[in-house]
Amino acid sequence: MEEINGRLLNWASILEPTTREQAERTAAMPFIHPHLALMPDAHLGKGATVGSVIPTEGAIIPAAVGVDIGCGMMAVRTQFSADDLGGPLDVLHGQIARAVPLSAGRYNKSVRDSAAPRVEELRAMPGVDQADGVAGSWPLQLGSLGSGNHFIEVSLDEADRVWLFLHSGSRGVGNKLASVHIRRAQEWCRAQGIELADRDLAYLPEGTPEFDAYIEALRWAQRFAWLNREEMMDRVVDQLSRFLKTGVERLEQVQCHHNYTEREEHYGREVWLSRKGAISARKGQWGLIPGSMGTASYVVVGKGNVPALMSSPHGAGRNHSRTAARRLFTRADLDQRMTGIAWGRSNAFLDEHPDAYKDIDVVMSDAADLVEVRHTLRQIVNVKGD
């Protein structure tokens, strides 16, 4: 761990100067307490750094949570082993891709029976009026993946046991809710004459109607993201059952957010803790840290590191922008890196090339004081939206 200054602690051995400067700007905000913790996968984000843990008193920075509210991971260990996967994995890839809508803007044509009780739960929550106002189609979004670094994978662990693993968030409705409140924070700060080092550090102070409305939308979107992952996992489990002609037993199950805010106690004080690209890693708490296409992912248990605000990285963290990745990497190289994995085989995934991300082994080494690795996963099926 590196103490950059009294308000910023850093666990990343790979830290670009622009990322460091951005984190320093966020840590300098007057309501940060006790300090900002920078995770091993830290990289440049919008406003606040991706891979940062931001405790605030009396205010929240909506852009420090981000536009994919509640984004996170879910994993299930099944009773199957590699030897049970007799059929061609491209067939399983196709089944999953047909069962879950992929890519930005692609949703279900109707609310499925499995999704209906989850939709009803969300309809009964405070915040649904805001969701209806920005995206009336949100019930059709439940059970859809999205694009970018979101994925569904079938993986094998160190004992060749079969896991199902997925990554997604609150989809279009979460993005629109976040965008509304980021803009409101900017308008509030501007109306108060508050000068900011970065307009995306605009905040909402506790006790204002704007703050209350954001918290309501935030909690609704976080729950939507959680249920979205549950709905997708149910469908993936069903497809694996069909593929193997045997029911799936869920022997282990882990789920965690990595873009969210919760009320937590740290250093003896209640704070709003925003994890933007970080997971909670309290002592004994299970979590998930994916690598990238073609690299390992990890099932971990938290160590409850107090200076790290009981948090850990959420993945490998980008090393190159999407535009740069498309310039740097070739389809032939990506094909080689994905040898032995059933995947989408599309140029659309060049910006997800493993080398567009930090070395996950370095990230996990940096996180040795934050989490303990319980399982190491390697994917054999990778489903993504373009």
pLDDT (tens digit per residue) in 217-239:
999 999 999 999 999 999 999 99
Task: Please determine, for residue 84, whether its predicted confidence score (pLDDT) is greater than 90.
Answer: yes
Residues ≥6 apart with Cβ < 8 Å to 59:
31, 203, 204, 205, 206, 211, 272
183 is in which domain, residue-wise? 2-383
Task: Please determine, for residue 354, whether its predicted confidence score (pLDDT) is greater than 90.
Answer: no
Mean pLDDT of the chain: 95
Average pLDDT, integer, range 25-42? 96
In which band, very low, low, confident or very high, does the pLDDT at 282 lie, cut at 50, 70 and 90?
very high
Could you give the percent of the chain with pLDDT greater than 90?
Answer: 84
Residues ≥6 apart with Cβ < 8 Å to 373:
298, 299, 300, 364
Task: Please determine, for residue 17, whether its predicted confidence score (pLDDT) is greater than 80.
Answer: yes
Average pLDDT, integer, range 262-277? 97
Average pLDDT, integer, range 42-63? 94
Task: Please determine, for residue 317, whether its predicted confidence score (pLDDT) is greater than 90.
Answer: no
For the chain, the C-alpha Rg in angstroms (whole number) is 20
| Type of residue numbered 50 | V
Task: Please determine, for residue 7, whether its predicted confidence score (pLDDT) is greater than 90.
Answer: yes
Complete edge-to-edge strand list for the sheet that includes strand 8-10 = 2-5, 8-10, 36-43, 50-56, 269-276, 259-266
| Predicted local confidence at residue 173, as pLDDT | 98
The total domain count for the chain is: 1
Q: Output DSSP code: residue 356.
A: G
Strand pairing category for 371-383 and 297-302? antiparallel
- Report the DSSP beta bridge partners of residue 32: 56
Average pLDDT, integer, range 114-120? 97
Rounded to an integer, what distance in angstroms lies between the CA atom of residue 165 and that of residue 342? 15
- Report the DSSP beta bridge partners of residue 375: 299
**Largest Cα–Cα separation, the chain:** 65
In which band, very low, low, confident or very high, does the pLDDT at 194 lie, cut at 50, 70 and 90?
very high
At 17 the three-state DSSP class reads helix
| Predicted local confidence at residue 86, as pLDDT | 81
Average pLDDT, integer, range 153-168? 97
In which band, very low, low, confident or very high, does the pLDDT at 292 lie, cut at 50, 70 and 90?
confident
Task: Tell me whether residue 35 is exposed, middle or buried, using C-beta atoms within 10 angstroms of its C-beta: 0 to 12, 13 to 18, 19 or more.
Answer: buried
* Encoded tokens for 108: 């279900």
Q: Which long-range contacts (CB under 8 A, 24 or more apart) does 198-202 make?
A: 198/22, 198/25, 198/47, 199/47, 200/46, 200/47, 200/48, 200/63, 201/25, 201/26, 201/29, 201/47, 201/48, 201/61, 201/63, 201/64, 202/61, 202/62, 202/63
In which band, very low, low, confident or very high, does the pLDDT at 370 lie, cut at 50, 70 and 90?
very high
Average pLDDT, integer, range 332-351? 88
In which band, very low, low, confident or very high, does the pLDDT at 386 lie, cut at 50, 70 and 90?
confident
- Report the DSSP beta bridge partners of residue 272: 56, 263
**To which residue do tokens 């694009």 refer?**
147
In which band, very low, low, confident or very high, does the pLDDT at 118 lie, cut at 50, 70 and 90?
very high
Average pLDDT, integer, range 126-145? 97
Residues taking part in catalysis? 314
Positive or negative torsion for Cα 226, 231, 235, 241? positive
Could you give the percent of the chain with pLDDT greater than 70?
Answer: 100
Angle at 97 between CA 93 and CA 100, to 5 degrees: 135
Is 76:164 a contact under the CB 8 Å cutoff? yes
Average pLDDT, integer, range 26-47? 94
Is 180:134 a contact under the CB 8 Å cutoff? yes
* Encoded tokens for 111: 């609310």
| Residue 382 region by backbone torsions, left for phi larger than 0, else alpha for psi between -120 and 50, else beta | beta
| Predicted local confidence at residue 105, as pLDDT | 86
Task: Please determine, for residue 347, whether its predicted confidence score (pLDDT) is greater than 90.
Answer: no
Rounded to an integer, what distance in angstroms lies between the CA atom of residue 205 and that of residue 6? 24
Task: Please determine, for residue 47, whether its predicted confidence score (pLDDT) is greater than 80.
Answer: no
Position with higher pLDDT, 5 vs 46 = 5
Average pLDDT, integer, range 3-7? 94
| Predicted local confidence at residue 263, as pLDDT | 97
Task: Please determine, for residue 87, whether its predicted confidence score (pLDDT) is greater than 90.
Answer: no
Q: What number of CA atoms fall less than 13 Å from residue 328's CA on the CB side? A: 14
| Predicted local confidence at residue 119, as pLDDT | 98
Find the CATH number of the domain harbouring 131.
Answer: 3.90.1860.10
Q: Output DSSP code: residue 86.
A: -
Task: Please determine, for residue 245, whether its predicted confidence score (pLDDT) is greater than 90.
Answer: yes
User: DSSP string spanning 283-331?
Assistant: TT-EEEE---TTS-EEEEEE---TTTTSEEE-S--BSS-HHHHHHH--H
The helix (H) or strand (E) run that includes residue 171 is helix 171-191
* Encoded tokens for 247: 């029911």
